[in-house]
Structure 1
Amino acid sequence: MAETVHSTDGTTIVYETAGSGPPLILVGGALNTRQSPGGLVPLLAADFTVVVYDRRGRGESTDMPPYAVEREIEDLSALVAAVGGSAGVYGHSSGGILALEAAAAGVGISRLAVYEPPYFTTEGGDEPWQIFVDKVQALVDEGNADLAVEKFIRHTGTDFDAGMKQSPWWPALVALASTLRYDLTLTGDSVVPVQRLGRISAPTLALYGGASAAWAQASASAVATAVQNGRQDVIDGQQHAVAPEMVAPALVEYLR
């Protein structure tokens, strides 16, 4: 059953819980809603009370412009408070960056795991970051959300197949195009904020896929080094879209 919590600026954040045990909040990346980690939830629910939520502007959660990373940190802080004041957190991709920023800001995160936060990424880097963000937003503002999503996917280095647009899940991605700017803002210029991450005292696991591009291992290494109590590990044979059954054992072992 969906529940709600209100963030500092009045934004309504919708979330669901499953399982039993200490709370574990899953933070999705770009073009994700609370349904996106559906395959992972049952694999964690025997050990944790798993919390999935719609980040602001997605799914059933509301939004309150203008966007700022600080607002998303407040959203996550409100969610942590709602589930008891302290929680483990697992963030995937740009959701990992959000989780790291929240931990650095002092949100009550007891243990933290991130999978391939997109630092050090250079794919599509021929144009300055802000110009790319503005182009994506302009497409959304012009009503061309379809092309905005395509441009973003190509920017990530993923091989884009025009047949994707015929897939039944494509309209759901297009519906989230207005939030692409949020994830691009989180990622910024892809430089690891070493000084901010150095504030994180919670035990932190930085994961990457063994079949991912070189930036993923570099990112995990940099994160694990920057935080006060970090380590890195590899999920063999996996890429950025890590299989739930492959990442779940590592999360249970580290976060339990």
Structure 2
Amino acid sequence: METITTPAGIQLAFDRHVGGDTATVILIGGAFSFRKFPKLVQLADRLADEYGLTVINYDRRGRGDSTDSPGVYDVENEIDDLAALVDAAGGSAALFGWSAGAGLALRAANSGRIPGITRVVAFEPPFIVDRENFVPPADVAPRLHDMIAAGNRGKIVPFYMTKAMGMPRAFAEIMRFTPMWQGLRSTAFATAHDWAIMGEFMRGVPLRAKDWAGVTVPTLVIAGEKSGALLRTGAKAIAGLLPDARHVELAKLSHNPNLDIITPPAGEFLTGTAEYAQWAPLHP
């Protein structure tokens, strides 16, 4: 484990998986994830071993071994965290974001405040652009903040899964009896950061191109054919607006990704090799 302290005083913990000198990529997990989440570790290893990438797998603020800013939930702060990590990586890095982490990657690239971002892979950012499937209630933020202030980790997990992510209540309650429960509880407070990233783009209204014109780096938006219509629709919508985007739906892939399916397109896009380097952007 390595650590850096950001200019704002947040300590960020990360693991550096060195596969070669091809390029550097920072992995950004979504809600309830942390750097020791098995699939993030496995993805980091595979991108390093198979594609020669140096992979930085970090704990976002409020997770794992990173510190937090209790009561302060602002996407700009997490963009600052990424800026510090890009500096620690030598001044340039690609971003691979999963779910809300994909939203953070896109918002960081859009901000213009991290010129060292070279490419973005966005795996199923949870944009909700219509009202055909699920739209979170308007009071997610105040209710979530109240539960955090009261220390109700066990209530936050099913609340966020059902009210913010649209999971069935029965599924969320079953999680209490799985080996994942302690990890979910440990990251429960950090879901307020996820909502700060995604909440304004989950209102069931179309995205606006002018809000994303700053994402000028080459971007690959990935969705899985086994994922729900909500995620597939959101991925296609954001890809259609970005100045230099490619979009693909991968067969047999879901939001809980099979690494044999997702690693090749991500690795080849990030390294600019083979088939995926030849994909034409949606808006040439």
TM over 0.5: yes
CA displacement 1:153-204 (0-9 Å, x = unmatched):
1232334153321222201211111111110111123253532321111100
Matched, 1:35 2:28: no
Match of 1:98 among 99, 104, 114: 104
CA displacement 1:198-241 (0-9 Å, x = unmatched):
11111000111101122222222222222211110012122211
Secondary structure in 2 aligned to 1:125?
coil
Give, in whole Å, the separation in 2 of the partners of 1:207 and 1:101. 17
Secondary structure in 1 aligned to 2:42?
coil
**Residue in 2 that maps onto 1:54:** 59
Give, in whole Å, the separation in 1 of the partners of 2:190 and 2:136. 23
Q: Which residues in structure 2 correspond to 1:79-228 (within 5 Å)?
A: 79-106=85-112, 107=114, 108-120=116-128, 125=135, 127-128=137-138, 131-155=139-163, 156-159=165-168, 160=171, 162-189=173-200, 190=202, 192=207, 194-228=209-243
Cα distance change on mapping 1:124 and 1:132 into 2, 3 Å: farther
- The alpha-carbon deviation at position 111 of structure 1 amounts to 1.0
Structure 1, unaligned runs of 5 or more: none
Give, in whole Å, the separation in 1 of the partners of 2:12 and 2:156. 25
Q: Which amino acid aligns with 1:90?
A: F
- The alpha-carbon deviation at position 147 of structure 1 amounts to 1.5
Give, in whole Å, the separation in 2 of the partners of 1:112 and 1:205. 6
Give, in whole Å, the separation in 2 of the partners of 1:167 and 1:29. 19
Does the aligned pair in 2 maintain the 1:124–1:154 contact within 8 Å? Answer: no
Task: Give the length in aligned residue pairs.
Answer: 253
Does the aligned pair in 1 maintain the 2:94–2:270 contact within 8 Å? Answer: yes
Q: Scaled by the length of structure 2, what TM-score is found? A: 0.84
**Residue in 1 that maps onto 2:27:** 26
Does the aligned pair in 1 maintain the 2:148–2:189 contact within 8 Å? Answer: yes
Q: Which amino acid aligns with 1:216?
A: L
Give, in whole Å, the separation in 2 of the partners of 1:246 and 1:35. 21
CA displacement 1:106-146 (0-9 Å, x = unmatched):
21211111011010166653621xx1222222223223211
**Worse-matched range after superposition: 237-246 or 179-188:** 237-246
Does the aligned pair in 2 maintain the 1:43–1:245 contact within 8 Å? Answer: no
Cα distance change on mapping 1:210 and 1:124 into 2, 3 Å: closer
- The alpha-carbon deviation at position 44 of structure 1 amounts to 0.7
Aligned-residue sequence identity (percent) comes to 32
Q: Which residues in structure 2 correspond to 1:61-72 (within 5 Å)?
A: 61-65=66-70, 66-72=72-78
Q: Which amino acid aligns with 2:184?
A: L
**Residue in 2 that maps onto 1:16:** 15
Give, in whole Å, the separation in 2 of the partners of 1:67 and 1:120. 21
**Worse-matched range after superposition: 75-84 or 17-26:** 17-26
Give, in whole Å, the separation in 2 of the partners of 1:235 and 1:43. 18
Does the aligned pair in 2 maintain the 1:27–1:53 contact within 8 Å? Answer: yes
Does the aligned pair in 2 maintain the 1:9–1:64 contact within 8 Å? Answer: no
Cα RMSD between the aligned structures?
Answer: 1.7
Cα distance change on mapping 1:196 and 1:235 into 2, 3 Å: same
